[in-house]
Amino acid sequence: MKIESDFLVIGSGIGGLSCALHLAKQGNVSLVTKKEKADSNTNYAQGGIAAVLSETDTFEQHIKDTLEAGAGLCHRDAVEKIVREGPQHIHHLEEIGVNFTKKKTGVYDLAREGGHKAYRIVHVKDHTGRDLEKALLNAVKAESRIKVYENHIAIDLITEHHIFEPQPRDQASLHCWGAYVLDSKAEVVVRFLAKATILSTGGCGQVYLHTTNPDIASGDGIAMSYRAGARIANMEFMQFHPTTLYHPDANSFLISEAVRGYGARLLTRSGEEFMQGYHPMASLAPRDVVARAIDNELKKRGDSCVYLDISFKDPESVRSRFPNIYENCLKYKIDITKEPIPVVPAAHYSCGGVRTGLDSATSISGLLACGEVACTGVHGANRLASNSLLEAVVFAREAATKAVELLRTNVQIPNIPPWDDTGTFNSEEWVLISHDKKEIQTLMSDYVGIVRSNLRLERALSRMRLIGQEIENFYKRTKVTEELVELRNLATIAQLIISCALLRKESRGLHFTTDYQKPNDDKFLKDTSIQKSAI
């Protein structure tokens, strides 16, 4: 089966939906999403979008805060781009139906989060992502030129590797003409063809045992791009959100950084504040600092969690500002207006991904990327809170602009062979899949977490290579399924994170190693870049 359109968008988060809406003005769009349309990291985002919308704030201060959080690795041109274009994108989101919270005077109710020296987080209470996703989905639904394919998971990008023999020697000669995509319900693989393919597949938090990410965050776009020969960068910088609810049934429910911005304090089990000893901004320090501080306190004291206390604030104001967090905590018999919240760090956001330029183009012609799947240079070694949704909408428009340019070129899509599963069989050994997934997640959490070492990383890479080879062998002789595709991608992502971490022999931002505990600007004030031959 073959489906051909002007543009192929893979992923239905804020980046994919925004890009599809821009593209629909110029051509037909196939939007592929592996679950229901609203299942994405965007939908889980509580805090909001950082943008300069107050007279007391400036572009220069937002840029400075971002650069400081990024620990020297942010690309200034990319940072300036999202910051200066931020307000216009906020207004555009309002035009399509996002009702950002405002004060009685009509001005935005701006919040403050860790690393920000000004109030600049525009939000919809504490469920900004959900409202963003809803507004974008309604806009997409109303657009006749966008066809959404739910329950479709991309397996691999289509490049010269699938067509020509011998394969191109020069990576720069690679082109992408779409992807092989599994229709999970019909259990058939479809060729989705287009002159421009846009990846907006989100992050890879599921490579860890504890994560704020939804089940679908298995790094599909990054893994596919790596296998296709694209340049991948900065995968060692995995951001752990400092505060997720510590409860056996809570599944790492995120307690937004906006709670600390509202005045909440981090406490030990005995009720002592501890962040003053780690950073001048105390509980409002950047995420990497707070996560490491909590990790250190837990190890030092032998406690299982720390506590986030907002109970000293007016109860009604807390319930009004954080209705989602209040209700969710109440499910676990925790009243945040009366008692501290038990919290621990959990894997949250990948600052690395598929390397792109300011035009969202990757190193493969015809392949673009936006959102968490991309490494644009904005976040450097540590993402500043609430810059991610802003980055996604800004670079979604750039991806659309570049995709339209590609549509107008004379590049012809060659004859793409159908998916060939000859010689494979349906295996009943699915217990191996669940076992391998748990082993990957446990290994990554134990050896490649907030604090690392050469010994841990080398052991992790050795074991991950074996697991990866086992999965690849299983993949080649078994009919493809959604679970198998995700497992294969997780194995690839794990190896990319470990390999990048081993290349960076210093501590910087989110990457902290006991073997090199300080930054080394002379040798490592640069991105970590990796391609297929490197693993």
Catalytically active residues, by annotation: 287
Asked if 298 and 317 count as a contact pair (C-beta separation under 8 A), the reply is no
**Virtual torsion, Cα 125, 342, 214, 203, nearest 10 deg:** 90
Rounded distance, CA 264 to CA 99, Å?
Answer: 26
Residue 497 neighbours by CB under 8 Å, 6+ apart:
207, 235, 236, 238, 352, 444, 448
Give the CA radius of gyration of the chain: 22
- The amino acid present at 203, given as its one-letter code, is G
The structure tokens 């690795």 sit at: 73
Asked if 274 and 293 count as a contact pair (C-beta separation under 8 A), the reply is yes
Rounded distance, CA 242 to CA 253, Å?
Answer: 12
Q: What is the tally of helices (H) and strands (E) in the chain?
A: 15, 19
DSSP helix/strand/coil, 315: helix
Kind plus residue range of the DSSP H or E element containing 301: helix 287-301
Rounded distance, CA 434 to CA 516, Å?
Answer: 35
Residue 421 neighbours by CB under 8 Å, 6+ apart:
189, 479, 480
Rounded distance, CA 97 to CA 366, Å?
Answer: 32
Kind plus residue range of the DSSP H or E element containing 460: helix 454-476
For residue 22, the number of C-alpha atoms closer than 13 Å in the C-beta half-sphere is 23
DSSP strand pairing (306-309 vs 341-350): antiparallel
